[in-house]
Structure 1
Amino acid sequence: MSTAVAIATEAVVAFCRPTVGYDTWISELYPFLSQRAAVAYETVDPANVPCTSLTGAATVRDGDGAFTMRILVPTDAGEYSVYVHRTSESTPWAVEQITPLASE
C-alpha cells in the first residue's frame, strides 16, 4: 500500500508544475502513468494545471489495497484524488487518473 501512496504522491508532484514546458512536463509525468492515462494526459496543457505544490502527506481514500487504490494528495489548489491500479501483485502501480477532489 505504501508503494501506491508513493507513486500517487510522485505523480502529483510531476503534475503540479504549470510553469514547466509541455515536453518536460509530459516526459516527467509519463513514468507514473498507465498507457491509457498517458494518452489522455497528452492533451493537457500544463499551464492550465492550478496546483504548484503539495501541502501535506497523501492518504488512502479507498480501494482493495492489492490492485486498486484511490489516494488523496493535498495541494495548494485543494486535494487531488489519484486512482492507481496494477494487474497483479508483482506488477508496478500505475496512475490511471489525477482529478481535483472537488470535481468528483
Structure 2
Amino acid sequence: MSVMNDFARVDRDADAWSNALARWLTPQAVSDFVDTDPAEVPVREVIGPPRLIVDPNNGFGVTAMVPTDTGEYTVRLLRQSAEHPWKVTRIAPPG
C-alpha cells in the first residue's frame, strides 16, 4: 500500500516525509500529521499486502489492515464518489 510505504520512509527529513504523505491524505489528515517527527514513527517496512474491510452500507469508505514490521496498522480511506480517488483519513498504529 503506497501510503504506508511512504509512511515507513522515516529516513527522510520531516518536510520530505510530510510532502510524500500529503498526496495520499485528506486535508484533515495532512493537518493531523503536520507536526509529526518521522524519527518517532516506529514502522520501517510494510511486510505484506493489505487486508481490506469493506462496509457494505457505505461504498465510499474502506479500512485497510496493513501488516508492518511493528504490527498491523489501520488505514482508513474515503472517497467522495465513484469518480474520485481514495484518500486516507487516518493511519493508526497497532493496538
Regarding TM over 0.5, the answer is yes
Counterpart in the other structure of 2:52: 60
Map Cα deviations across residues 24-73 of structure 1 (whole Å, 9 max, x no partner): 10111110000110111112111100011111111113434620001001
RMSD: 1.2
Q: Which residue of 2 aligns with 1:69?
A: 62
Counterpart in 2 of 1:24? Answer: 16
Task: Give the Cα separation in 1 of the matches to 2:32 and 2:68.
Answer: 22
Runs (5+) with no aligned partner, structure 2: none
Q: Under a length normalisation based on structure 1, what TM-score does the superposition of the two structures give?
A: 0.84
Q: Which residue of 2 aligns with 1:89?
A: 82
Task: Give the aligned length.
Answer: 94
Secondary structure of 1:33 counterpart: coil
Deviates more, 1:84-93 or 1:63-72: 63-72
Give the whole-Å Cα distance in 2 for the aligned partners of 1:95 and 1:80: 13
Which structure ranks higher in relative contact order (CA pairs < 8 Å, sequence separation ≥ 6)? 1
With normalisation by structure 2, the TM-score equals 0.92
**Percent identity for Structure 1 against Structure 2:** 31
The offset of 1:100, in angstroms, is 1.2
SS class of match (1:32): coil
Structure 1 alignment gaps of length 5 or more: 1-8
